[in-house]
Amino acid sequence: MGLILLSGQDSLQSFDPTVPPVPGAAIAGCVALGLSLACFVPAVRRVLARVLPMQPDDFVHAISIAWTIQVIGWVFLTFVPFNRPLLYAMYEANMESLASSETATLVSLGSTLVWSIPTALMAIGFPLTRNLGFALARLGLGSVQWRGMSIGVVVGIGLAVFITVAEQRIVSLVAQTGLPMTEADLFEELASLPTSVIGAILLGLSAGTSEELLVRGVLQPRLGIVLANLVFAMAHGLQYGADGLIVVFVLGLLFGVIRMRLGLAPAIMAHAVYNFVLVLAHQWAT
């Protein structure tokens, strides 16, 4: 999700809406919308409430679960007509480079970091139904414990090292399943990764903060760790194949456990450090 956000502005500017990628994207969107509308049926919500921490008669909870089903369903269903991530098809249909300049990348990262904070606060009712203190508590942002933040740093570094070492093995194992894989060349073109240390720091902070606020802060307490993490993984499905999605899902579960046990700030730290280390490694390798 963070990589989509950092290249999002330039992608929208260079995308030509007169050149449709494939009609399958629209069909997938309609099917996902239909599935999400089923969440407004009281009987469906009562069934979901048996396994999710939600109130079946609460309209806000109905909106949240409907949005979740639509996101997961749309991204998943786009794999059916394309058999690959949607952004790859969009890129090839337009035949334009989506790579952005370093300055544009930094501006996009900074704007993502800034807007994600008020968005998360408003999503859980600030200032209408919760004051700032209760809103921060709802997100999991209580008093910051240095022990938790230290654990976040160690976990982030450890995960980055493990993924770097195990990447080829993971790719080879998933490739044997015949599932669509991440296409490295197109991913590099779409990602527009920063090329400076400052950019690596900003990417870590931006993606780590925005994704953890919205997924582990807003969604996880309402949807549970698994369903919220499916949203997290599927949001990456626009640019990753099965190999990347499996890694993202496992990472998301770990971040979710950190959020549940230590609070949101350590989860943000772990995610930010993980992204920062991987981007630095990418810069060093290239």
- Kindly report, residue by residue over 111-149, the tens digit of the pLDDT: 999 999 999 999 999 999 999 999 999 999 988 889 999
Choice among 68-72, 183-187, 219-223, 229-233 with the minimum mean pLDDT? 183-187
Cβ burial, residue 185 (10 Å; 0-12/13-18/19+) = exposed
**Which distant-in-sequence residues (6+ apart) come within 8 Å of 52 by Cβ?**
65, 222, 223, 224, 227
pTM to 2 decimal places:
0.85
253 vs 77 pLDDT, higher one: 253
Q: How many residues does the chain have?
A: 286
Query: Quick one: pLDDT at residue 131?
Result: 95
**pLDDT above 90 coverage of the chain, percent:** 57
pLDDT band for position 257 (cuts 50, 70, 90): very high
> Residue 188 pLDDT more than 80?
no
Query: Quick one: pLDDT at residue 184?
Result: 82
199 vs 104 pLDDT, higher one: 199
Query: Quick one: pLDDT at residue 189?
Result: 74
Helical ranges in the chain per DSSP H: 2-14, 24-37, 42-48, 59-82, 86-94, 102-123, 132-139, 146-175, 184-191, 197-211, 220-223, 225-235, 242-262, 264-285
Q: What are the pLDDT digits (tens) for 9-18?
A: 344 344 444 4
Q: What are the pLDDT digits (tens) for 27-86?
A: 888 888 899 999 999 999 999 999 888 899 998 899 989 999 998 988 888 877 777 787
> CA geometry: angle at 71 spanning 211 and 214, to 5°?
20
Query: Quick one: pLDDT at residue 212?
Result: 98
**Which distant-in-sequence residues (6+ apart) come within 8 Å of 119 by Cβ?**
213, 214
Q: Domain limits at 30? A: 2-285
Instruction: Find the distance separating the first CA and the last CA of the chain, reported in whole Å.
Output: 23
Q: Supply the mean pLDDT for the chain.
A: 86
The whole-number average pLDDT for the span 11-26 is: 51
Number of domains in the chain: 1
